[in-house]
Amino acid sequence: MSANGTSNERKATISRITNETKIQIAVSLNGGPVTIEKSILKDKSYDATQSTSSQVISINTGIGFLDHMIHALAKHGGWSLIVECIGDLHIDDHHTTEDVGIALGMAFKEALGQVRGVKRFGTGFAPLDEALSRAVVDLSNRPYAVIELGLKREKIGDLSCEMIPHFLESFAQAAHITLHVDCLRGFNDHHRSESAFKALAIAIKESISSNGTNEVPSTKGVLF
């Protein structure tokens, strides 16, 4: 496992290798250019990509719907993000989903650096047709997650619905943040999930935005 962060630019690169997954992530919380020096991938058939003047996004976990959700998180959070994963999908989707959540949380924490001069708290609401979700974030250094999406299907595409909250829990634990995400209404599980990730993106974007000072936003005087 290795990490390399540039806190003032809010960028990080993460390499996490286990017997179950090989993962590379490059993230810039401010958008702009990001690169991975050498790709570990041979097949990008599930790649979710988007390149604009302000963001570069390329997600390849081997699980199409997970790619779609992480793409939404990055896009609406204003990140540039590259995620590459080779996982043991011949077993199931658990290790890949969990480990990508962990690695993404690690990359987020490394890129953010010390919690100073930011709002710390963020709230987001996002609709997708009939579905509406709410997310609340605290850059607390106290990892905790409460995820209630009310999903009913066994799978969305190749992603088990039980793994969607587990991904968010894994991300929160590794990022050292407190995270609450609820789907308030909706009957389509795709819509419920996607609105949740978009709400989370909005909440995180607010929490890491400037508060106009260089102070630590805590009565304790320290966070992280």
Per-residue pLDDT tens digits for 138-187 = 999 999 999 999 999 999 999 999 999 999 999 999 999 999 999 999 99
Check residues 216 and 80 and name the one with the higher pLDDT.
80
pLDDT at 218: 85
From CA 203, how far away is CA 120, in angstroms rounded? 10
- How many Å is the Cα radius of gyration of the chain? 16
For residue 6, pLDDT over 60 is answered with no
pLDDT at 69: 98
For residue 46, pLDDT over 80 is answered with no
pLDDT digits (tens, 9 = 90+) for 93-133: 999 999 999 999 999 999 999 999 999 999 999 999 999 99
- Domain boundary assignment for the chain: 11-208
pLDDT at 126: 98
> Is 120 exposed, middle or buried (CB count within 10 Å of its CB: 0-12, 13-18, 19+)?
buried
Choosing among 3.30.230.40, 3.40.50.620, 3.10.450.40, 3.40.1160.10, the CATH entry for 11-208 is 3.30.230.40
pLDDT digits (tens, 9 = 90+) for 57-100: 999 999 999 999 999 999 999 999 999 999 999 999 999 999 99
From CA 131, how far away is CA 186, in angstroms rounded? 4
pTM of this prediction? 0.94
Here the tokens at position 2 are 């290795």
